[in-house]
Amino acid sequence: MSLSGLLDIARSGLLSQSGALGITGQNVTNATTAGYTKRVASLTPQVGGGVTFNGEIRSFDRFAYAHVVQQTGLQSAASARANALASIEAIMAPTTGTIGDRATALMGSLTTLTAYPLDTAVRSDVLSKVGDLSSTISNASRALSEASKELFQQGQGVVSDLNDRLTHIADLNGKIAEAQALGSDASNLRDQRDVYVKDVSERVGARAIEDAQGRVTLFGAGAVLVEGNRTNPLTLDLDPGGKMRITVKGASNIDVTARVDSGTLGGLREARDVDLAASQTGLDAYAFDVANTLNAAHAAGFGSDGVDGRPLFAVSATKAGAASTLAIDPGMVGHPELVAAAGSVAELPGGNSGALAMAALAESDSFGGTTITNRFANLASDVGARKLNAESEKSLRDDTLSLATTMSQSASGVSLDEEMIDMSKYQRAFEASSKVLQTANELLDNFLREI
């Protein structure tokens, strides 16, 4: 080998190992940077000796990352639903002062009335308990309505954030394609785009497919959300029935509501339009049946004035909305003497057969085939079961996302231990190239002295 060839080998080694050391240092510096993908040096052996440094390569496993994106959407949906159900459960079944407690207290006051039908304080307590049960039910119904509005507003925020990220992805598509066409490195741009893709999946679920120009087509909610430099944003409003309606706006508007079952938006939609709606419907039915059953029993009795046919509750004519408007009948307010303790006029003034008939309802199956307390317990149990199911799903998705992330990180993440090994390897190679260059210089000096 000629002396000049030896110098070329040394020179290529120094340049290549220096470049590789720079990439290793970059990895170490960005080890904790969110979304950063490990870079590796591209080194090619030269014919006749030496090595060529071709720049950096992004260590990226697209299949592993696609799994992370998918699991992110599923985990976000489960988390959003579980959080919403925790709020719904707190409304329907608080730790104290539940609707069931109020119903039990009312039936207890009616039992007391059977023993003291002439006691004004006992009669007043019955009306107080009617008011307590009514207000607790109506307050719970209004709280559910507020929770429904809050979930919708959260959904609007999610859609706004999502559309912002779609714009960024489309913009990065153009920059990446341009850089790739010019032969420039687009690793940093790809890192940024991958973060935005994951963000979109967190909100609605997504899948990305990259073309030969480096641009991704992003799918979500059963539609194309990004194609090249063009976006198809989402909109969220309410349909005529009051449920969330999600539309993808493009050449034509597409209703994708039924397909939004992933991401935070999917979890919010299920919590609001399925879980919360079931609680509201159940509470309406409970209020309607309890009020009408007790009203019928009370109307059959007689107040101290000898009049029958009076209701205890003011309740709507239909089940829908019955809970929110439930109240003590205005005609009974402040008039304990009108409580129908007597079963007939002949029993007055001290009869109690009317009170006995109402008190007996506590153990009867007159409230939808079960007792008044069990009817509410079923409502609370349904919410609890839904919450438990959501929490179990969240726990499962936490685990699957963690596993997917670990697998992706093993291919694309920075390991400081591995980088230290690579740094030592490149340093030794750099030192070896330096030694070769030093030897070549010495030979050249000797040669020049002999001339």
445 plus 296 within the same structural domain: no
Over residues 67-90, the pLDDT tens digits come to 999 999 999 999 999 999 999 999
pLDDT of residue 448: 64
In a domain, 408, yes or no: no
pLDDT of residue 263: 96
CA distances from 232 to 128, 165, 253 (A): 57, 12, 9
38 plus 99 within the same structural domain: no
pLDDT of residue 72: 96
Q: What is the 3-state secondary structure (H, E, C) of 205-252?
A: CCEEEECCCCCEEEEECCEEEEECCEECCEEEEECCCCCEEEEECCCC
Peptide linkage before 45 cis (omega within 30 of 0):
no
Over residues 229-274, the pLDDT tens digits come to 999 999 999 999 999 999 999 767 899 999 999 999 999 999 999 9
Domain residue limits at 431: 3-59+413-450
Distance from chain centroid for Cα 118: 56
In a domain, 267, yes or no: yes
428 plus 293 within the same structural domain: no
In a domain, 406, yes or no: no
Chain mean pLDDT for the chain:
90
With tokens 């006051």, the residue in question is: 109
pLDDT of residue 46: 75
C-alpha span between 335 and 329 (Å, rounded): 11
In a domain, 158, yes or no: yes
260 plus 363 within the same structural domain: yes
In a domain, 324, yes or no: yes
In a domain, 405, yes or no: no
Total of domains in the chain: 2
pLDDT of residue 415: 75
Q: How does residue 51 score in pLDDT terms, banded at 50, 70 and 90?
A: confident
Burial 277-286 (b: 16+ CB within 10 A, else e): bebbebbbbb
Q: For 10-24, 116-130, 133-147, 364-378, which range has the lowest pLDDT when averaged over its residues? A: 10-24
Task: Say yes or no to pLDDT of 3 above 70.
Answer: no
183 plus 314 within the same structural domain: yes
Q: How does residue 34 score in pLDDT terms, banded at 50, 70 and 90?
A: confident
CA distances from 253 to 234, 241, 266 (A): 9, 20, 19
26 plus 121 within the same structural domain: no
User: Which tokens go with 254?
Assistant: 């597409």
pLDDT of residue 123: 97
Q: How does residue 139 score in pLDDT terms, banded at 50, 70 and 90?
A: very high
Q: How does residue 2 score in pLDDT terms, banded at 50, 70 and 90?
A: low
337 plus 446 within the same structural domain: no
DSSP secondary structure letters along 389-444: HHHHHHHHHHHHHHHHHHHHHHHHS--HHHHHHHHHHHHHHHHHHHHHHHHHHHHH
213 plus 351 within the same structural domain: yes
Q: How does residue 442 score in pLDDT terms, banded at 50, 70 and 90?
A: low
15 plus 158 within the same structural domain: no
pLDDT of residue 166: 97
pLDDT of residue 20: 74
270 plus 226 within the same structural domain: yes
In a domain, 339, yes or no: yes
pLDDT of residue 78: 97
User: Which tokens go with 53?
Assistant: 């440094």
pLDDT of residue 76: 97
Task: Say yes or no to pLDDT of 422 above 80.
Answer: no
Mean pLDDT for the stretch of residues 288-313: 96
Q: Where is the domain boundary, 356, 371, 399?
A: 399
Mean pLDDT for the stretch of residues 360-381: 92
37 plus 127 within the same structural domain: no
233 plus 89 within the same structural domain: yes
pLDDT of residue 250: 77
In a domain, 144, yes or no: yes
Q: Where is the domain boundary, 360, 377, 399?
A: 399
With tokens 């199956």, the residue in question is: 365
Over residues 316-353, the pLDDT tens digits come to 999 999 999 999 999 999 999 999 999 999 999 889 99
Q: How does residue 410 score in pLDDT terms, banded at 50, 70 and 90?
A: confident
> Can you give the pTM of this predicted structure?
0.86
- Count of residues for the chain? 451
Over residues 12-21, the pLDDT tens digits come to 777 777 877 7
